[in-house]
């Protein structure tokens, strides 16, 4: 039960980001769904393992600034989404930029999985195995990311351009939440 709860907790940031992606796309295709679910799930699977293996070496070092990295990356993507809403280009083009490929997808995948790195390091400090946590986290994250994009698409179809602004605000808020939780 602990493993499932940890996995669900780690998957929530990716779930929120996938909703934002779905909100801003003109169409959510099966290819886009796969890319987001795969990337978010893969990063959430891999990061606890990396954290676990590096826990004894760098654990204390990573924990000191992981929240700043996540905050910075999510703020960068969120700010870019908000600015794109106000560009003078065709409004449909701005809202429907494809964030399911390339650097934006990698940045969001990394930013939403930084906390999984810290969890992996914590498990190393406790001398607990990480592979089950990593597997469950990857599967749950992939599933929730898929569902988040589908739900975001439904909302985006009804509300259009304003959703690009809303998506950017959500990502900024998510980054701020991560920072506040770690500093507070």
E strand or H helix that includes residue 135:
helix 131-159
What would the pLDDT profile of 85-135 be if each residue is shown by its tens digit?
777 655 444 445 677 888 889 988 998 888 888 788 878 877 889 999 999
What would the pLDDT profile of 19-66 be if each residue is shown by its tens digit?
888 887 878 899 999 999 999 999 999 999 998 988 767 656 666 777
Domain ranges for the chain, please list them: 2-183
pTM of the model: 0.73
**What count of residues does the chain have?**
184
């Amino acid at each position: 039960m602990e493993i499932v709860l940890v996995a669900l907790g780690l998957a929530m940031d990716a779930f929120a980001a996938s909703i934002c992606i779905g909100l801003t796309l003109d169409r959510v295709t099966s290819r886009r769904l796969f890319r987001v679910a795969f990337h978010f799930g893969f990063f959430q699977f891999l990061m606890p393992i990396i954290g676990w293996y590096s826990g004894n070496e760098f654990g204390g070092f990573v924990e000191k600034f992981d929240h700043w990295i996540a905050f910075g990356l999510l703020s960068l993507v969120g700010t870019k989404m908000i600015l794109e809403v106000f560009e003078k280009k065709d409004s449909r083009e701005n809202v429907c930029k494809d964030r399911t490929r390339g650097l934006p997808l990698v940045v969001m995948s990394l930013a939403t999985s930084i906390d999984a790195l810290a969890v992996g390091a914590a498990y190393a400090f406790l001398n607990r195995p990480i592979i089950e946590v990593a597997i469950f986290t990857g599967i749950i994250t992939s599933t929730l990311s898929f569902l988040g994009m589908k739900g975001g698409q439904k909302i985006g179809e009804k509300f259009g351009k304003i959703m690009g602004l809303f998506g950017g605000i959500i990502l900024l808020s998510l980054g701020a939440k991560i920072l506040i939780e770690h500093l507070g």
